[in-house]
Structure 1
């Protein structure tokens, strides 16, 4: 099946006279990809700089947020710093390698990756996962713990990009263009919920709806599914004792501050202590009181040590990351590249937004990391691979990828 980029693109794409109309045969061998697409220009230097800066900043903040905890539990203040530094080196390697690979080579890997991630998620659900914090979200491979839910986000994006580009002429239909994508995403969501990982399930749903909207699926289908999804989310919270307890604690932080709301309450206190300019790097006191400050609540330590100004700059960095991703999507030479870039940009933006909202107690507690900054190898490596793919798309989006 041949897909003509531009002729079947959604309304968010630029006018046809702003880009070269290139045909891509999605099912054909890679050697059949036209030279106009295989040729690569310079990558988006701004996007690359933002990602590298966030990775480096993450190493610094993980050390600042974890030194006390590492000293108490491991008698080594550099325990988490050493691990995060190794993860960062691996992430930069993954970023460079994935940015140099033509993203069209992901065609043949789409279904094997999707199936592999599905198997890993199932292994967590059936009891083979490593438990921590009441959830079995990790698979232990020797000393390394892998979190399949992080892989699932990128796997869903790559599969949706492939499928929607391939079905571009039927994306407005319910049985071909909408329902199959919702079923696969729903299956992955159920596997995440069983771990349980409610936050990742919500991200998967938002990624699916975003790409369906960008691809041109009927708004009525998306709205209907959104209503059903909202009803399911409400039921999942109300009839799950621990989720409902978190919701009640979220509504009454002060009342539950010594119990289930202790972590979000201390997080809010961190932001308040930072005020406008912050206390200074390494001078935050909430690392003594905020549990697991180097993981999901690292934003609270950033707020305490760098204040409102620091958090604003961090939000600006994520906004720039998303905008450069959208830029790459609009300049991509084909629908597949556009959907990949839109999906990855959405993945970064949604996770950062939810993490910051949870740290500020705007949303109930969710187990989502702050992209590129929170401690953890699985999240960092998957996000680095996603950023590399985004850079690969940007390299084929115009003669000058640096502007």
Structure 2
């Protein structure tokens, strides 16, 4: 057994800085909304402080448990995640903004899809580490994971939550690729996946009905319907554009005053750019780049295939969500509900991400990283 090293300090600091920025920006972006609608401008601040504390304990807890010990609970994690995803589609599920994605009681709710992300990482990394050379075969190296991928995608897509379903598919695909599948199998799956995505978009556009079509047409030309389908995109671009180089100043956003929907969540990056300018937005992106770089280094330096695959799944999950959220805020892709990791408001999301970082920190203890 190799001697433990100190955990990756750069990764730890970058995550802490992102969480602190998130706390500040959730408060700044939500104050007006909660003051008017809940008679408490500090409503989201108090809740995000609680969830940040819980997330910090989760990160510390997961960082102290050797990552290979999670193999004992891999099957249980998988079964529980599937049960929760099924439960959210029953009358037990809570509907908000026309989507049924939450379970819970009253104001204490969570998203089973967040739990499913971490559960799938633990389950698939454990499975791959046990198969080893069998990953080169189609029947054991590809087919079981395609079925798991399809199961997760179908259950999450039904909520409906296409963006999260897409993240889970990309995450699983990345883990299977790193796990040692044949390159010919990889190319076949990638080609099929891209073809299927293009076909799905074509069907949505050709039918010309539903909110998915509206989002795609709004992405193509938001000014065609500025008061409805293009409203979010236009308000986000106005926020980013008026921020300039140095921003309006912390707390001085105009778009958060009931112009930009979900300023504390899906479009929080637009508020960051408006209040802190290009400098603030670039700093957030730089912190994410440092985090992703360290995650890749940890995956490449892992002592075994389980640590490598697990780290790959975690960093893919974070990277894809960051890219989707910022792309939506900058109108680089159609609008979809996707939180910005560590920054957007969301209790279960924040705790899941910080717990995942805890696992990544533990993996880093068993690598020979350059910690200078």
TM-score, normalising length: structure 2: 0.95
Work out which of the residue numbers 44, 69, 74 in structure 1 matches 2:38: 74
Residue in 2 aligned with 1:7?
A: none
The answer to whether 1:334 aligns with 2:304 is: yes
| CA deviation map 1:281-318 (0-9, x unaligned) | 11111101111100111000001011112111111111
Work out which of the residue numbers 275, 278, 284 in structure 2 matches 1:308: 278
Residue in 1 aligned with 2:240?
A: 271
Work out which of the residue numbers 13, 18, 24 in structure 2 matches 1:60: 24
Q: Distance in 2 between matches of 1:401 and 1:138?
A: 41
Corresponding residue SS for 1:290: coil
Give runs of aligned pairs for residues 158-197 of structure 1, distance below 5 A. 158-197=122-161
Structure 2 unaligned segments of length 5 or more: list them. Answer: none
The answer to whether 1:346 aligns with 2:346 is: no
Work out which of the residue numbers 223, 230, 239 in structure 2 matches 1:254: 223
Residue in 2 aligned with 1:42?
A: 6
Q: Distance in 2 between matches of 1:382 and 1:401?
A: 27
Q: Distance in 2 between matches of 1:227 and 1:327?
A: 28
RMSD: 1.5
Work out which of the residue numbers 194, 197, 200 in structure 2 matches 1:230: 194
Q: Does the aligned pair in 2 maintain the 1:41–1:401 contact within 8 Å?
A: no
What is the aligned length? 366
Alpha-carbon shift at residue 234 of structure 1 (Å): 4.0
Per mean C-alpha deviation after superposition, the further-off stretch among 139-148 and 186-195 is 139-148
Structure 1 unaligned segments of length 5 or more: list them. Answer: 1-35
Q: Distance in 2 between matches of 1:64 and 1:236?
A: 38
Residue in 2 aligned with 1:243?
A: 212
Change (3 A) 1:158 1:401: farther
Corresponding residue SS for 2:88: helix
Residue in 2 aligned with 1:148?
A: 112
Residue in 1 aligned with 2:47?
A: 83
Alpha-carbon shift at residue 230 of structure 1 (Å): 3.1
Q: Does the aligned pair in 2 maintain the 1:44–1:401 contact within 8 Å?
A: no
Q: Distance in 2 between matches of 1:129 and 1:60?
A: 31
| CA deviation map 1:105-138 (0-9, x unaligned) | 1011111011101100001123321000111000
Work out which of the residue numbers 256, 259, 281 in structure 1 matches 2:250: 281
Q: Distance in 2 between matches of 1:351 and 1:182?
A: 21
Give runs of aligned pairs for residues 192-207 of structure 1, distance below 5 A. 192-207=156-171
TM-score, normalising length: structure 1: 0.88
Q: Does the aligned pair in 2 maintain the 1:45–1:401 contact within 8 Å?
A: no
